[in-house]
Amino acid sequence: MRLAAALVSAAALSLSAGGASAARSAPARDWSKTVAATPEGGFRMGNPAAKVKLVEYGSLACPHCRHFEETGYKPLVDKYVRTGHVSYEFRNLLLNTPDISVSLLAHCAGAGKFFPMSVEVYATQPQWQDKLYRLTDAEKAEVEKLDNSEQIVRFADLAGFPQLAAHFGLTAAQSHQCLTDAKGLQRLLSVTEKAGNSGIDHTPTFIINGKVTDAALWEQLEPLLRKAGA
């Protein structure tokens, strides 16, 4: 899907070299609980020193990204990220104004809640998109009269994004502040702009250890992760 454009640092895993029995007795660290914002504008989950570093440029409004989340997100996290072998960073590649609205709120939810909120955004994507598709001509005309910043707030209200964000700790006042934060908007837009300047123009796009792949589906991506050493 073509486009119109998120942060993370973490801790390192060290295992004692005390033999197989010691390794078995030591509790494994769950790296999926280590999430931080990255300087590139995304959120990274997992071991920052992982051998395999996966970056997804995705859109919360993209049906193809939703399909990957439904089919690939859980095995990616459970088999590769949790164990510390792969780090997974999501960077928003924005498609439209509703995408901007919900992405702003997901970022404002913070590192610890970004991925859980994204899961819910994808799960409810058909419902909130249907609300927007069903806008009357009069409602569309009303929105078109608004300037860009006002449209971000209006689309959020029409889609019910503040109510969704409330599940992740954002009050109505906090959601409104987030949606009208010019600096936050610029940070988000810059991720899309930089991606476009790098030739990344569709979602999802997966990058493994700095190399752009052709994978769009989990069954295409997993063999590449293994080949890279996951």
CA distance linking residue 87 with residue 68, whole number of Å: 17
Q: How far is CA 59 from CA 28, 220, 227, in A?
A: 32, 19, 26
Q: What is the per-residue pLDDT across 124-157, written as a single tens digit (0 to 9) for each?
A: 999 999 999 999 999 999 999 999 999 999 999 9
Residue 40 tokens, joined: 């590139």
Domain ranges in the chain are 28-227
CA distance linking residue 199 with residue 202, whole number of Å: 9
Q: What is the per-residue pLDDT across 117-132, written as a single tens digit (0 to 9) for each?
A: 999 999 999 999 999 9
Whether residue 19 is predicted with pLDDT greater than 70 in this model: the reply is no
C-beta of residue 8 within 8 angstroms of C-beta of residue 111: yes
Selected residue with higher pLDDT from 21 and 155: 155
In this predicted structure, what is the pLDDT of residue 28? 79
pTM of the model: 0.86
Quickly state the pLDDT bin for 9 (edges 50, 70, 90): very low
Quickly state the pLDDT bin for 192 (edges 50, 70, 90): very high
What is the CATH code of the structural domain delimited by 28-227? 3.40.30.10
In this predicted structure, what is the pLDDT of residue 23? 42
Helix axis angle for 172-179 and 97-109, nearest 10°, is: 120
3-state secondary structure (DSSP) of residue 212:
strand
